[in-house]
Amino acid sequence: MEGFIGRGSDVLVVGGGRSGLAAANLALDLGASVSVVDDDPGAFSTPPWEALRRHGGRILSDRKIGPWIREWSSPVLVSPGIPPIRWSGEVVAPPLPQVRGELEWAASLWPHPIIAIAGTNGKSTTTALVAHLLTEAGWKPFVGGNFGTPLSEGVRNVREALGKGRPSPYDVGVIEVSSFQTESMQSFSPALYLLLNITPDHLDRYGEYSLYRGAKMRAVSLFGPDTTVIWNGDQEDYRTGRSIGSARAAFVIRGDASGADFGEAPVLRILPDRMEIAGVTGISPGRPISTEKFLLSGGGNQQNLGFSLLAVLLFLEGQGRMVPMELLERGIATFTGLPHRMERIGTVRGVTFVNDSKATNVGAVEAALAGLSDAEKPNTVLIMGGRDKGGSYLPLVPGIRRHVKEVVVLGEAREKIRQELSPYVAVEEASDFYEAVARAFSVADSGETVLLSPACSSYDMFHGYEERGDRFRDAVRRLEEQFGGERSRRAPDHRHEG
C-alpha cells in the first residue's frame, strides 16, 4: 500500500478532525493534490487548516459528506470519527479499493515495528503503559493512533528527520486502535496485537453487538505468522478468533484458567501480588514479577499491566534483546496512570473525588466498580449519564449493590438509567453537571467517595470525555474553595480522543 498515494494523486480526505488534518498534511508531503470534506464548516476555521490551505490543500465548502464519496475514483482517506453510514450507506465500511482509513494507510508508511492495542476497555492505559515500559528499557516509542497523536503525524516526523539527514526520532510505534479504525482494514501487519477484551459498546453506531465484535476481529483476519495476537484467556473470543487468519497466539489469564488449552503459546498468569510468565525465551517458566508497587488499583488495571508486560517481553524477544527484569519492575512502580481514568482529584470534608470520565461504556464502569475496596456497606456515590450508546445498564447492578449507595444521573441518558437502576439503588436526577457534583457531595459522608464514571459518551454536553473530566475537576475545585480540601497530585496529561 506504500504506492497508494504518490506525487500527482488526487486525494479526498473525509473528516476535519485531527486524523483528517494529519492525513491531509502527509498526503501533501507526498506530492498529492488534496481535497477535504466535512459537514461542519467550523472544523476548518483553526490555524492548522489555514496553514494547509496555504500549502495547496482545498476545502470542499460546497459539498457535504455523502454517498458520492463511494464514486470518487482516486484515493480516499477516511477519519475514524466519520460513521460509514454517512458516506457509504452501510453501517460497516465496505472494502472499496480506493478507500483507506487514516491509520491503516499511515501504518503502511511507518518504517518501524508496531505494537497495536485494541479491545473495548483499557486501551489508552495499556498503550501508555507499554510505551512507559519500553522507555524504561531504552526504546524511543511513538505513542498515538486512537490515543493522542494520529499515526500520520508520526510518519511525517520520521520523514522530516530522515530528509534532514537525522536519525528517526522513534524506533517502535505503540498504537491504540479502535473498532472505527479496524472495521475497514484491508492490510495491517503489526508485530503484536493486544486484544484486551470485547464487551458491548458503540451500539449507537453499529446497531448490534455482532457487528461491533466483527469490527474488532476484522484486523485479526488479516494477520500472518509475523504477527502475534495476545488474547484475553478469560474470554471466549480467543477460541474462535485463533482460527481467523494465521497469526501466532499468546495469552493473559487470571488464576489457573482451568480447562483452557493454550498449547505451547506464551502465557502470563495474573495472581494477587505478582505475575508469572511461561513460554518466553530467557525467562524461566513461572518466573514471578512483583506487582506490589504498581500504583493503579483495580482488576482492570491488573489486566492492563499483564498485557503490557507480556507485549514488551515478546517484542524484546522478537528483536533479539533481553532487558533485566529489574528495569521492568522499576517501570511498573513508576507508572502513574492517565488523567480521566480512575484519577483521584482531591478530598473535601473527608469525601474523595475520583475522575473516571473516560469510562464511556458499561464495561468500563463495571471494571471501575470491581476495583473499589470492599467496605461494611456501600460507600460510593456514582455520577453517570451523557449520550446513551445503545446497551443496557443492568450489568452494573452487582457492582452497584456491592459498592454504591446512590447514583446521580444527568444528560440525555438520565431517564433510561433511572428506569433500569432505580429498582436496585437510590437514583437522583440532576439538570446540569455542577448540580450533579453538588448533589453527590451532599449525599456522601466523610470517608466515602464520589466517582464520576458515566457509562455514556460525553457529546450531549461536551466536546469529549476530557472536557467532561476537566469540568468535574473544576466542580471539585469550587467545593474546595467553599469548604476547604486537599488537592491530589495530578498524573501527566496525555490528552487524546477515545
User: Where does the pLDDT of residue 261 fall: very low under 50, low under 70, confident under 90, or very high at 90 and above?
Assistant: confident
In this prediction, residues 230-255 reach a mean pLDDT of 88
Confirm or reject CATH 3.40.50.300 for domain 10-90, answering yes or no: no
Lowest mean pLDDT among 3-17, 50-64, 300-314, 357-371: 357-371
Q: Give the tens place of pLDDT for each residue, 123-140.
A: 999 999 999 999 999 999
Residue 264 has pLDDT above 60, yes or no: yes
- Of the spans 84-93, 153-162, 214-223, which averages the highest pLDDT? 153-162
Pairwise CA distance, residues 101 & 146, whole Å? 12
In this prediction, residues 234-253 reach a mean pLDDT of 87
Residue 195 has pLDDT above 60, yes or no: yes
Q: Superfamily assignment of 343-484 in CATH?
A: Mur ligase, C-terminal domain (3.90.190.20)
131 close to 120: Cβ distance less than 8 angstroms: no
Provide the terminal-to-terminal Cα distance of the chain, rounded to the nearest Å: 27
In this prediction, residues 65-83 reach a mean pLDDT of 95
Residue 498 has pLDDT above 50, yes or no: no
In the chain, CATH 3.40.50.720 sits at: 10-90
Residue 338 has pLDDT above 60, yes or no: yes
| Closest to 355 measured CA to CA, from 462, 498, 453, 455 | 453
| Closest to 428 measured CA to CA, from 447, 408, 412 | 408
Q: Which CATH number fits domain 103-334: 3.10.20.30, 3.40.50.300, 3.10.510.20, 3.40.1190.10?
A: 3.40.1190.10
Place of cell 531504552: 138
Q: What phi and psi values does residue 296 have, to the nearest 5 degrees?
A: -90, 135
Lowest mean pLDDT among 85-89, 309-313, 335-339: 335-339
Largest separation between any pair of C-alpha atoms in the chain: 69
400 close to 374: Cβ distance less than 8 angstroms: no
Burial degree of 300 (CB within 10 A; 0-12, 13-18, 19+): buried
Provide the CA 461 distance to its chain's centre, in angstroms.
21
User: Where does the pLDDT of residue 493 fall: very low under 50, low under 70, confident under 90, or very high at 90 and above?
Assistant: very low
Pairwise CA distance, residues 319 & 169, whole Å? 18
In this prediction, residues 338-356 reach a mean pLDDT of 91
In the chain, CATH 3.90.190.20 sits at: 343-484
Pairwise CA distance, residues 310 & 143, whole Å? 18
Q: 482 is written with which cell numbers?
A: 467553599
Residue 94 has pLDDT above 50, yes or no: yes
Query: Cα angle at 331 between 328 and 336, to 5 degrees?
Result: 155
Pairwise CA distance, residues 317 & 310, whole Å? 10
Residue 492 has pLDDT above 50, yes or no: no
Place of cell 473544576: 474
Q: Mean pLDDT for the chain?
A: 91
State the pLDDT at residue 258: 59
Residue 167, helix vs strand vs coil: coil
Higher pLDDT: 3 or 378? It is: 378
Residue 28 has pLDDT above 90, yes or no: yes
State the pLDDT at residue 489: 43
Burial degree of 100 (CB within 10 A; 0-12, 13-18, 19+): buried
Given strand 33-37, what is the order of strands in its sheet? 58-59, 33-37, 10-14, 76-78, 99-101
